[in-house]
Amino acid sequence: MHSSRKGAVPHGSDVLVIGGGIIGLVTAWRAALRGMRTALADPAPGGGAAQVAAGMLAAVTELHYGEETLLGLNVASARRYPDFVAELEEASGLETGYRACGTLAVALDADDRAHLRELHALQQRSGLDSQWLTGRECRRLEPMLAPGVRGGLRVDGDHQIDPRRLAKALLTACERAGVVFHHGWADRLSVVRERAVGAVLGDGTGLAADQVVLAGGSLSGRLAGVPEELRPPVRPVKGQVLRLTVPPAYAPFLSRTVRAVVRGSHVYLVPRADGELVVGATSEELGWDTTVTAGGVYELLRDAHELVPGITELPLTETRAGLRPGSPDNAPLLGPTALPGLHLATGHYRNGVLLTPVTGDALAHALATGELPAEARPFTPRRFTSAPVESVPQELTV
């Protein structure tokens, strides 16, 4: 571990994590477990995109062309999930809603079927486990599916977790591991002699730390004090999500996650054990707008209804929009930056929940050793900047 400069300033810690979404929380928890004195700054820890996300752990069914490097990290994190959940539930005393239920990706017309066949071929070339089913076989597995379903891919390894419960469990695990929470948003990174040394909160409080992890989700690119050339290239990608409830008389409505691409848009239905049914998600490049729109709700319900007509009978209990932290290559930015003392854990885009275990481990390793573990090295923030740290402003703010 890096040496501590405690004593010279109040609120000193070995590690300061900026951002208390699931990525910031898992980083803080894992760092604290390694014996680092860890602090976290966020006005409302446990919030963020995890309050909206459906929680699919979809390494296989979210595979996209050109993302084979990301696939390696996604698969590594999916494999880690059962042990991660067991450890987290033990540490927090809380359940996370992890459900090893599998996923069925279906096709509604000839175009969808061709697209799924291509995906299946790509999965097979990538050594992933998925099985092609006829429409009839799909309906045998999930009788609520529309009669028009033309075929599908059964992926028994793509599971789910409840991200709200995950966030709560991580928050409690952090508290129990001694993470110190500062309930304010970091306004500015503090940089002294070309090194990140902490942050200043909105109320002027200075927090000193040997190392800082910027885990601000879609807001990560907006922290003042980060040298311009090192600002994470992260943008918000809006997703509208619906929550419905399956009354006990209708259960089991669906036994696994069901998804499809309908007219080019992804739609998925994620059934929880407690009767919640999550339907997502739009994908909109609209800046920081989180309005739930009639059009968004209409499209999600229309597409979900084509897949599972009975959905319109269910109570609609919640509509909400969140912001995915998108990066230029759809992959996260993990570990040390060219500014000594500053690490990133952001840009997880569509895979934040899936990548939570591997991110916590990678960041804790990087904080302890200065290096990313081999599996996370392709995701260094340095892939977007080759610039050395030359013109870092001299600031003395803590």
Burial of 79 (0-12, 13-18, 19+ CB in 10 A): middle
Q: CA 222, 374, 212, 216 torsion: positive or negative?
A: positive
- Residues 103 to 142: which contact ligand GLY by CB under 6 A? none
- Binding residue (CB under 6 A) for ligand GLY from 154, 159, 188, 324: 324
Encode 312-341: b = buried (16+ Cβ within 10 Å), e = exposed: eebeeeebebbbbbbbebbbbbbbbbbbbb
CB of 355 to ligand GLY, least distance (A): 11
Please identify, using beta-carbon distances, which residue of 59 and 246 lies nearer to ligand GLY: 59
- Residues 37 to 96: which contact ligand GLY by CB under 6 A? 56, 62
Please identify, using beta-carbon distances, which residue of 26 and 56 lies nearer to ligand GLY: 56
Contact between 239 and ligand GLY (CB under 6 A)?
yes
CB of 302 to ligand GLY, least distance (A): 17
Cβ neighbour number for residue 84 with a 10 Å cutoff: 21
d(CA 228, CA 222): 10
Contact between 332 and ligand GLY (CB under 6 A)?
no
CB of 166 to ligand GLY, least distance (A): 14
CB of 87 to ligand GLY, least distance (A): 24
Helix or strand (DSSP H, E) at 70: helix 68-92
Please identify, using beta-carbon distances, which residue of 15 and 354 lies nearer to ligand GLY: 354
CB of 261 to ligand GLY, least distance (A): 12
What CA–CA distances, in Å, run from 310 to 105, 144, 152? 18, 7, 19
Residue nearest to ligand GLY (CB): 350
Reference 26, options 44, 45, 13; nearest CA is 45
CB of 241 to ligand GLY, least distance (A): 8
Please identify, using beta-carbon distances, which residue of 185 and 379 lies nearer to ligand GLY: 379
What CA–CA distances, in Å, run from 33 to 215, 263, 352, 364? 18, 46, 21, 9
- Binding residue (CB under 6 A) for ligand GLY from 149, 209, 281, 366: 281
Please identify, using beta-carbon distances, which residue of 101 and 179 lies nearer to ligand GLY: 101
d(CA 321, CA 241): 6
And the tokens for 194? 């070309």
Contact between 159 and ligand GLY (CB under 6 A)?
no
Please identify, using beta-carbon distances, which residue of 99 and 324 lies nearer to ligand GLY: 324
Please identify, using beta-carbon distances, which residue of 281 and 321 lies nearer to ligand GLY: 281
d(CA 81, CA 38): 24
CB of 53 to ligand GLY, least distance (A): 7
- Residues 346 to 365: which contact ligand GLY by CB under 6 A? 350
Reference 56, options 324, 225, 223, 280; nearest CA is 280
Please identify, using beta-carbon distances, which residue of 41 and 219 lies nearer to ligand GLY: 219
- Binding residue (CB under 6 A) for ligand GLY from 280, 325, 326, 360: 280
Contact (Cβ atoms closer than 8 angstroms) between residue 159 and residue 129 = no
Q: What are the residues binding ligand GLY (CB under 6 A)?
A: 56, 62, 239, 280-281, 324, 350
